Chain A
Amino acid sequence: MQRLLITGISGGHGRLLAQRLRGSCEIVGVDRTPWEGRPKDITVHLADLRSHRVEDLFRRERPDAVVHLGLIRHDFDAILRHDVNVVATKRLLQYCADYGVEKVVVSTSSYVYGALPENPFYMDEDTALNVSRHYPEIRDLAEVDTLATAFLWRYPNIATAILRPVSTLGSNVQSSIGAYFKLPYVPTILGFDPLMQFIHESDLAEAMVAALERGARGVFNVVGPGAVPLGVAIREAGGTAVSLPEPLALFLLDRLFRYGWFPVPADAADFVKYPCTIDGRRFREATGFTPLLSLEETLQSVRI
């Protein structure tokens, strides 16, 4: 691996990965927003991933590995987000095929499986992507995943790794789940306390490095150090769980989310009712990856 292109490099995951790989290869980034105070040896191109300037970038920079982190999440309008994520991913993957990229890593999320009451505790990679059944807001994530999987099978010579990490916590990465755990009073649904898995942002960066270095090819669940019930996780992360009856919780959260005062839409409530826990065996066997931080450290990183 000589030249690595990271999309969405100015985001938390992008910065962590770039800093982790500095010195071992040449790093080129692309993002819509600049990375203030970035190290000098990292180049960042400002571009929208949907624009054709990205193709120029491939033509000029000739990356041999691409990590696609340029996905947007809840802060945007759902239609725009779907458009950006799906269209940009499709184009980017096409450029990867056209310009001779050898390794591609796409990171989606374990949420693509959806939180259903009948979920087994440890879903493997062959489980259907059910998220749009109850939580259509993030079906774009499932579509990105499906696009990348199709790409994986269409180009057998490219080592494509699709990572589906569990809830990522940490101080650099902006995520809905992180914002949820940062609340002083964390709303939960009365009578439900599902198991949840977590991974620290630096461990996720490490997992991406492992996928790149091993040239892993396939779809992989990426899990952290273990699973605990939601209530324990909230307590460990320093918050206070407030259990509300479901109808009240859904009504309140829906309003608060619309006004921008709550980080997660009400449709996501299933994720605090039912388990969406995954089996990370395949990735562990393919790359030897094990998380460095314990569950305790991971949960406590929320408030650092």
Chain B
Amino acid sequence: MSTTKEDVGRGSGNGRPRKRSRRLTTVTATPPVGTNANAKPTANAKPSARAKSAAETPPRAAAAAPAKRAIEPPPLSLLNRLRDAAGDAILGLDAFSPAFLRRIEDEVAAKLARAPMDLNAYGYDPWGLQADVVRRSMVISTLVYRYYFRVETRGAENLPSGRVLLIGNHAGQIALDAAMIAAAAFLEADPPRIVRGMGEYWLPRLPFLNVLMVRAGSVVGTPKNCVDLLDHGEAVIAFPEGVRGMNKSFTERYVLQEFGLGFLRLALETKTPIVPVAVVGSEEQAPSLGNWKTLARLLGMPAFPLVLAPVPLPVKYHIEFGAPMTFEGNPHDEDRVIGEMVEKVKSRIRRMMADGLARRKGVFL
């Protein structure tokens, strides 16, 4: 994606910056635009020059002239600039990041370069995804994936390279299960897939979060968005349990709640294979006494869980991608017919969850 004809003959010749120099300016390794990767990072990759070089070429300005427009930081308000600076301080400044973080940044950047994306001249895809935000959030997800939840993933080879609908169990009060499935699909699948989330209808009302959600590749979970994304060959994740699953109480862990039928109608309509996903671990990460519905309604939130843990507990995650399931039929058939197909998906997830539970040694191990 980031490799174009212009790159040939410049830099290392393979269109991508050399590994050695990539360590200097990780960000330029994947310019958010498909227009040019000839943002050849400086060749003076001497360790002593590292700090200086990083200061001279702030990550996003290091691109060559034609790329300038798409890559240079927007002249936005002071607040935005502060926010960018804070983001750079956490993720972008390679000079100050420890070696293991740099390795992860490199790995994410390399995978991102191989992940199929359809970016316009400004580096955004038709649904507002921005490669650089995906990269940053994937670095964080990878850290959580490897070192906090220590996720073990099976069946990543079941992810096809084209359109696919991932259907999983939903739990854990906040959508970390979605983030971990997305990280698994990005890190373990070949080619790396950027999973597009189907968000709750109230998320776009939240300041900042709505922008982050869209830039990282999620959309509001309307049927039209889902159909458009699938038609475009994307990997879409949906949790048919919705908040029923995510905000259920601890006593109902590993009990699948009622599945919505919409996802199956969309799969039939777009002839999309369904990959069932079972997540073990998320169900224990945030024990809850239940859902305070009155307060939720007062706050305009879909649910207000009474969570006992202040932060998600460091449980051990097991994720399994099942073999793709294809269904045929009339997408507008009555609920009973669609419900039977949904039940097949649900029982597959239930079985995979039971397997995962049997496999694990303990909640935290």
A121 and B122 in contact, given A235-B76, A242-B77, A243-B79 (Cβ under 8 angstroms): no
- Cβ contact within 8 Å between B220 and A117: yes
A117 and B204 in contact, given A124-B224, A231-B76, A241-B77 (Cβ under 8 angstroms): yes
Alpha-carbon distance A65/B205, docked complex (angstroms): 44
> Does B228 interact with chain A (Cβ within 8 Å)?
yes
A120, A123, A124, A229: which has the most chain B beta carbons within 10 Å?
A120
> Does A166 interact with chain B (Cβ within 8 Å)?
no
Which of B54-62, B136-144, B206-214, B350-358 contacts its partner?
B206-214
Q: A195 to chain B: which residues have CB within 8 Å? A: 124, 127-128, 214
**Shortest beta-carbon distance, B118 to chain A, in Å?**
11
Within 227-249 of A, Cβ neighbours of B (below 8 Å) are at 227-229, 231-232, 235-236, 240-243, 246
- Cβ contact within 8 Å between B228 and A235: no
> Does A191 interact with chain B (Cβ within 8 Å)?
yes
> Does A119 interact with chain B (Cβ within 8 Å)?
yes
Interchain CB contact (< 8 A) of A121 among B121, B128, B205, B206: B128
Interchain CB contact (< 8 A) of B224 among A122, A192, A231: A122
Q: A241 to chain B: which residues have CB within 8 Å? A: 74, 76-77, 80
Alpha-carbon distance A236/B120, docked complex (angstroms): 14
> Does A193 interact with chain B (Cβ within 8 Å)?
yes
**Shortest beta-carbon distance, A277 to chain B, in Å?**
9
- Cβ contact within 8 Å between A118 and B220: yes
* Residues of A in contact, count (CB < 8 Å): 32
Interchain CB contact (< 8 A) of A191 among B74, B208, B222: B208
> Does A25 interact with chain B (Cβ within 8 Å)?
no
> Does B126 interact with chain A (Cβ within 8 Å)?
yes
- Cβ contact within 8 Å between A117 and B205: yes
Interchain CB contact (< 8 A) of B122 among A117, A189, A193, A228: A228
Alpha-carbon distance A222/B222, docked complex (angstroms): 22
> Does B219 interact with chain A (Cβ within 8 Å)?
yes
Alpha-carbon distance A192/B76, docked complex (angstroms): 13
> Does A190 interact with chain B (Cβ within 8 Å)?
yes
Please name the residue on chain B nearest to A239 by beta carbon.
Answer: B75
**Shortest beta-carbon distance, B6 to chain A, in Å?**
18
Please name the residue on chain B nearest to A235 by beta carbon.
Answer: B74
> Does B201 interact with chain A (Cβ within 8 Å)?
yes
- Cβ contact within 8 Å between A122 and B228: yes
> Does B225 interact with chain A (Cβ within 8 Å)?
yes
Scan A118-147; emit 1 where CB is below 8 A from any B CB, else 0.
111111100000000000000000000000
Within 52-93 of B, Cβ neighbours of A (below 8 Å) are at 69, 74-77, 79-80
> Does A267 interact with chain B (Cβ within 8 Å)?
no
**Shortest beta-carbon distance, A298 to chain B, in Å?**
11
- Cβ contact within 8 Å between B219 and A121: yes
Scan A247-283; emit 1 where CB is below 8 A from any B CB, else 0.
0000000000000000000000000001000010000
- Cβ contact within 8 Å between B124 and A191: no
**Shortest beta-carbon distance, B37 to chain A, in Å?**
20
**Shortest beta-carbon distance, B227 to chain A, in Å?**
9
> Does A295 interact with chain B (Cβ within 8 Å)?
yes
Q: B77 to chain A: which residues have CB within 8 Å? A: 240-243
Alpha-carbon distance A232/B121, docked complex (angstroms): 11
A240-B77, A279-B228 given; name 20 further pairs at CB < 8 Å.
A117-B204, A120-B220, A121-B228, A122-B224, A122-B225, A124-B224, A189-B207, A191-B206, A191-B210, A192-B207, A227-B126, A231-B76, A232-B122, A235-B76, A241-B77, A241-B80, A243-B77, A243-B79, A246-B207, A279-B224
18 A-B interface contacts by CB (under 8 A): A118-B201, A119-B220, A120-B225, A121-B219, A121-B225, A190-B79, A191-B207, A191-B211, A195-B127, A226-B126, A228-B120, A229-B124, A229-B128, A232-B122, A240-B76, A241-B77, A243-B76, A295-B121
